[in-house]
Structure 1
Amino acid sequence: MKVAVLDITGKDTGRKVELSSEVFEIEPNNHAIYLDVKQHLANKRQGTHKSKERAEISGSTRKIKKQKGTGTARAGSIKSGVFRGGGRMFGPRPKDYSFKLNKNLKRLARKSALSVQAKDNNLVVVENFDFDTVKTKNFVNVLKALGLENKKSLFVLAESNNNVYLSSRNLKSSKVLNSSQLSTYGILNANKIVFTEGSLEGVESNFNK
């Protein structure tokens, strides 16, 4: 699969790069994608939800009415969950929602996600670029040149670049990662994925192990 290489002004450089068919043109495995996205979202959950149970409520311990003769159900404590202000019965407790997946499945899921985006023509390749200073306007100009100003975009760099990353940080619709940080959720959540030329080698080597 060949893709034209653009510069950061959006102009065609006249060159093309060959994308690995083993990464960008496989038959997508939907179940692997589902599991990897599910893990990503589950691992982000704090799991700190908690409600007070009967033993944790402050209140009198006296028996609130006599055992027999009232014609109603027995009641031994005002802290019971059946009374207003009492503890919650079977309420939520702190829980760790994270779970593990093996590396081969995660690799398959990410290749499947890239193949889905490639099939939908959502991949863009640009020349390697850098900024002299940290300035959001610089990154906005790149987005405008590539026609991504109002779209969710994911920029994949060959390695961490502080100036580019910090210039994009205030823009909610754009995210900058290096090739080793790609996730299935991040790939599918973007309308367009912009790879720098240098990042392609890292992506293909990481996913072809």
Structure 2
Amino acid sequence: MKLNVTTLEGKDAGSIELSDAIFGLDPRADIIQRCVNWQLAKRQSGNHKAKGRAEIWRTGKKMYKQKGTGGARHGSARVPQFRGGGRAFGPVVRSHAFDLPKKVRALALKHALSAKAKDGGLIVIENANLEAAKTKALLGHFSGLGLTNALIIDGAEVHVGFAQAARNIPNIDVLPIQGINVYDILRRQKLVLTRAALDALEARFK
């Protein structure tokens, strides 16, 4: 698969051959969904907590006598039926994470990249360097490339000036190649890869 390469200023910088094993797959929604569910479940804090009847500080004395009142039989006031009592089967602090094999996660990333390439949402740029960390200048470059909602992936380290200029722009995410993930790829309309990011991806999946 061949794709044109541009510079950040919108100039032509040749072309590059993309690996069909990474960008040429027929996207499978089921594999991608499994990985997205795994990511979202893993980042849940799971710290919602409600007190059960054993944790309520309240007297355990029988509320009133068993018979002769005309009311229902009750013992402790800590039971869930009463205001101020413990909650039955309430949430507890726990981890929502579940396991997903590494091979499935790697395959899901390939399918997400292939989906972007298939629908025309993949852009390759020469590099993501910006000497002057000016948001206004970067917005001008983005408008020239037609980027309003994008995930930009650079090499092992993101250029400091580029990252500082991009952090105030809404709907623009900038990540190093180590941070590339299925969820962020899908939540943005465009995926922008630098040559360094492409080389790292091919080395990773070799």
Separation (CA, whole Å) in 1 of partners of 2:86 and 2:134? 53
Separation (CA, whole Å) in 2 of partners of 1:138 and 1:159? 24
Aligned with 2:54: secondary structure?
helix
Separation (CA, whole Å) in 1 of partners of 2:161 and 2:55? 51
Aligned with 1:54: secondary structure?
coil
Indicate whether 1:18 and 2:14 are aligned. Answer: no
Letter aligned with residue 8 of structure 2: I
Indicate whether 1:205 and 2:203 are aligned. Answer: yes
Following superposition, the deviation at residue 202 of structure 1 comes to 0.7
Letter aligned with residue 97 of structure 1: H
Following superposition, the deviation at residue 140 of structure 1 comes to 2.0
CA contact (8 A) 1:180 1:203 kept: no
Q: Deviations over 1:153-195 (max 9, x none)?
A: 0101122123222222222301111222211111111100111
Q: Deviations over 1:27-81 (max 9, x none)?
A: 2233221111111000110000101111222323332111122233211122211
Provide the identity percentage.
39
Separation (CA, whole Å) in 1 of partners of 2:183 and 2:205? 16
Output aligned runs, 1:42-191, within 5 Å: 42-149=41-148, 152-161=149-158, 162-191=160-189
Separation (CA, whole Å) in 1 of partners of 2:51 and 2:138? 49
Letter aligned with residue 175 of structure 2: L
TM value normalised by structure 1: 0.91
Letter aligned with residue 68 of structure 2: G
TM value normalised by structure 2: 0.92
RMSD of the TM alignment (CA)? 1.6
Q: Aligned residues, how many? A: 205
CA contact (8 A) 2:128 2:154 kept: no
Letter aligned with residue 89 of structure 1: A
Separation (CA, whole Å) in 1 of partners of 2:141 and 2:156? 19
Following superposition, the deviation at residue 111 of structure 1 comes to 0.4
CA contact (8 A) 1:180 1:206 kept: no
Q: Which aligned segments of 4 or more residues in structure 1 are displaced greater than 6 angstroms?
A: none
Aligned with 1:124: secondary structure?
strand
Q: Which moved more, 1:164-173 or 1:190-199?
A: 164-173
Letter aligned with residue 170 of structure 2: K
Following superposition, the deviation at residue 196 of structure 1 comes to 1.1
Aligned with 2:3: secondary structure?
strand
Gaps of 5+ in 2: none
Q: Which moved more, 1:80-89 or 1:24-33?
A: 24-33
In structure 2, relative to structure 1, the CA distance for the partners of 1:129 and 1:93 (3 Å cut) is closer
Letter aligned with residue 74 of structure 1: R
CA contact (8 A) 1:131 1:138 kept: no
Gaps of 5+ in 1: none
